[in-house]
Amino acid sequence: MVKDKETHGTFDSMFDNEAGEGESSEDAPVTPNLPALYSDQPDFSPDDVQIPRLRLAQGLSREVQDGTARPGQWLLIGFEPIPEATIVPMLFARMRELRDEDGDRQVLCYSRDSVTGVGDPGGVCESCPLGKWAGSKEEGNRRAPLCNFNYSYIIYSVEHDAVASLSFSRSGLGAAKMMNTIIAQKGLGKCAISLKPQTKQGPKGTYFVPGIGAATVDSTVFDRAKVRAAGGV
């Protein structure tokens, strides 16, 4: 049997079989005696967890393909799809991301501030040709930037009672600017926004974009959002 390098014993030695009087060892309860390196009260750091992403289901979304959601619903891992979402934006960032279009969509270059890229090609984002539109409408070869710009937020979702990330790019940039306008007027953590699906027609058929509107919520929602964003319960 392979020995556990930390405890210098077998895996079976991590458990004690304690048989009471009149009991066989097979019938006795198994009492865990795990090494001290395990804890039932983990002190997770930001590096140990990943903030789930609130996203709008499209026709090719995995959840739509496997039949657990419909296009136009809002998705958050661990929760049932919902038709509309109410959110409180807590944090904001501008980001960029360049992925390998011909391979497995590996991230080649990224920027957490949309100013300086890290990776290949890296450098100053403003002067990078990969972040600019190419071709022209007149010639019919207009192409979106290969480097994808997005507005990114940490938000509190009222329906889910959870913190999530939310990003808008390309066809969603108009919605993001509308949301930014509301945030500029009232401030992060001080405004509620409704997210509704809106249908659009593209070359490949119907797709969905976020519809943005101001929402009215009880003031306790903002207090709850602050607690959740700070890692409380």
Same domain assignment for residues 84 and 19: no
Mapped onto helix, strand or coil, the DSSP state of residue 69 is coil
Same domain assignment for residues 24 and 55: no
pLDDT digits (tens, 9 = 90+) for 56-115: 999 999 999 999 999 999 999 999 999 999 999 999 999 999 999 887 789 999 999 999
**Does 81 map to a domain?**
yes
Beta carbons of 188 and 90 less than 8 angstroms apart: yes
**Strand ranges (E), the chain:** 3-4, 9-10, 15-17, 30-32, 55-56, 74-75, 85-99, 107-111, 116-119, 123-124, 147-157, 162-169, 192-202, 205-215
Same domain assignment for residues 129 and 28: no
Same domain assignment for residues 165 and 201: yes
pTM of the predicted protein model: 0.76
Separation of alpha carbons 152 and 168, rounded Å: 7
**Does 39 map to a domain?**
no
Parent domain of 15: 3-32
CA nearest neighbour of 1 among 10, 114, 200: 10
How many domains, the chain? Answer: 2
pLDDT at 2 over 60: no
Same domain assignment for residues 12 and 97: no
Same domain assignment for residues 222 and 149: yes
CA nearest neighbour of 158 among 218, 116, 103, 112: 218
